[in-house]
Chains A and B, each alone.
Chain A
Amino acid sequence: MRNSRSLRGQVAIVGVGQSPSGRVPGRSPLDLTADATLKALADANMNKSAIDGVLTGNAFASSFHRFSIALSEYLNIQPSYSNTLQVSGATAGAAVNTAAAAIHAGLAETVLLACGDSLLTGMTPDMAIRAMTESRDQQYEMPFGIPVANTFAMTAHRHMKEYGTTAEQFAQVAVTFREHARRTPGAQKTEPISIEDVLHSKMVTTPYHKLDCSLISDGAVALILTSAEKAKEYTQHPVYILGGGEYYSHEHIFLMPTLTQTGAVESSKKAYQMAGITANDIDVAGIYDCFTGTVIMMLEDLGFCKKGEGGAFVESGEITYGGKIPTNTHGGMLSYAHPGIPAAWFHFAEVVRQLRGACGERQVAGAELGLVHTLGAGFSTQASTVLGTENTL
């Protein structure tokens, strides 16, 4: 029996928009986010008066503590439902799940989800230091020089120890996503790279080289969600939210229950159950790729392969076209863009376009079911969302 408290098919994404991304000097986070919003409204053939809810994440290069309110003022929108969420990299997935729940519950009818930042060109030294030191506990982590990158590095290192995952397998993730970015207009990095290039790039924090690490970018993305009943007023190709799940297992890296298995197991299980599917049914995925090893661990925890086999899975071509689960077809944070909290909104934008069949030469043929998995803060925060076309309802 289906749980009566389910989001399945109740809410759809009807508009997607992006600002220019990569290096975009001279434009504030609010400007970029408003730019993306106007494009999403145009995409949905929607007037901004239809929006009665606004959810965002915060921008490091902006001094506003309530970015969703500042954005609403910038756009001259007065929503009756709004919040600025903060669960680090998982904010995108959490925002989609939360907006869908709010629409289903009647708190809002049409919600704008938008997030933008200018990490590459908009940060003053003060802001950069704030962004760096605020990322981890000031007492038990930061004094040892361990911001968030090193927490991910230590989980990947332990994965190598326990499962024999190799630096070459990590590198293959970067190589694959670079190939994907080469087909994506607007990608920040498009020159081809080899496994050797990754392994010979500068060591940042072992086992991660520079090319194992995601980019630093400017940019913004906006999504517009509305009820399934209203969706067809705006688009012929609504992309429905079929399931959502989240999991928050720890704050400090030293209290992570197991370094090599994450809360993505639980968040995806909940999302799959709500959607009534398994990982095997999914045609295309967007997976948060702050580092190469992160993707390998997520492929395991999301159920695309067995624990410990993520490295071999990537090596045998399963995350690209013709493989089991084409992933980050836009190039991801490793090659398309990583403007911070907005980064995972790009994964949603790409999976929505895949499910609309609008990806041109990078289209995954026949894609009907998609997964977006976002995470953050050293695997502390996890949010999974299953999306589907009308055929999957």
Chain B
Amino acid sequence: MNGLVIEKPLPTADGDSQAFWEGLRSGRLLLQHCADCGHVQYYQQRICRQCQSDNLQLKPASGKGTIHSYSVVYRAPGPAFKDDVPYAVLLVDLEEGPRMVSSLVGKDFDALDFDAPLTLKIIQINDEVSLPCFELAINELHSS
């Protein structure tokens, strides 16, 4: 080997996102709700993207969502992801409205479909970082 340490890119919180990553560490996916216009946003920033108010409140997401689109990755985008392939990346529409990028827990790719229901599963990566991933909500699919 060339001695290069190949680690996955992990998030480093900034002033906009500190509470978000702290929330995930304590098991909650926090969304920003604008108290002025009602807009809900996933990507954390100081101001509301709809009305630019700074009157934002953090509330935990229900953890329910659906698949807007997805791709199963067979060729790793760099050495850090070689052990993970194949894996599925998801565009998730959260019940509260916002869309987010995530990845599927597990490898049940045949069960993936557009609009399929998902359930949040927060995965602890290390002491600092937990990532909001999703599982297929198979039972719910069958009962509905």
Contact = CB atoms under 8 A, between A and B. Distances in A.
A205 interface: yes
Interface residues of A, number: 36
B99 A206 contact: no
A157 B6 contact: no
A199 interface: no
B119 interface: no
Main secondary structure of the interface of A (DSSP, over half): helix
B21, B76, B101, B131 interface centre (most CB from chain A within 10 Å): B101
Nearest to A162: B114
A254 B12 contact: no
A129 interface: yes
A145 B69 contact: no
B32 to A, nearest CB: 13
B43 A146 contact: no
A161 B113 CA distance: 10
Interface string B16-38: 01000100000000000000000
Contact of B78 (A139, A147, A205, A207): A147
Interface residue tally on B, bucketed by range: 35 or more
Nearest to A255: B43
B68 A150 contact: no
A360 interface: no
A259 B93 CA distance: 13
A125 interface: yes
Nearest to A155: B69
A254 B114 contact: no
Contact of B77 (A150, A254, A255): A150
Contacts of B125: 143
Contacts of A128: 78
Nearest to B71: A153
B69 to A, nearest CB: 4
Contacts of B129: 143
Nearest to A161: B114
Nearest to B104: A144
Nearest to A209: B74
A358 interface: no
A98 to B, nearest CB: 27
A206 B72 contact: yes
B14 to A, nearest CB: 8
B71 A259 contact: no
A292 B41 CA distance: 32
A145 B84 contact: yes
A152 to B, nearest CB: 9
B73 interface: yes
A259 B68 contact: yes
A157 B88 CA distance: 13
Contact of B75 (A158, A204, A259): A204
B143 interface: no
B100 A140 contact: yes
A252 interface: yes
A254 B43 contact: yes
Given A139-B17, A254-B99, A133 B9 contact: yes
Interface in A250-269: 252-255, 259
B73 A145 contact: yes
Contacts of A46: none
Given A133-B78, A155-B69, A157-B69, A138 B89 contact: no
B8 interface: yes
A155 B69 CA distance: 7
A393 interface: no
B11 interface: yes
Nearest to A158: B69
Interface string B94-119: 00001111110000000000100000
20 contacts: A138-B12, A141-B101, A143-B8, A143-B10, A143-B131, A145-B73, A145-B77, A146-B101, A146-B103, A154-B69, A157-B70, A158-B69, A205-B73, A206-B70, A252-B101, A254-B43, A254-B91, A254-B100, A254-B101, A255-B43
Given A143-B129, A205-B71, 4 more contacts: A128-B78, A145-B103, A150-B73, A254-B91
Closest 3 CB pairs of A and B: A139-B11, A153-B71, A154-B69
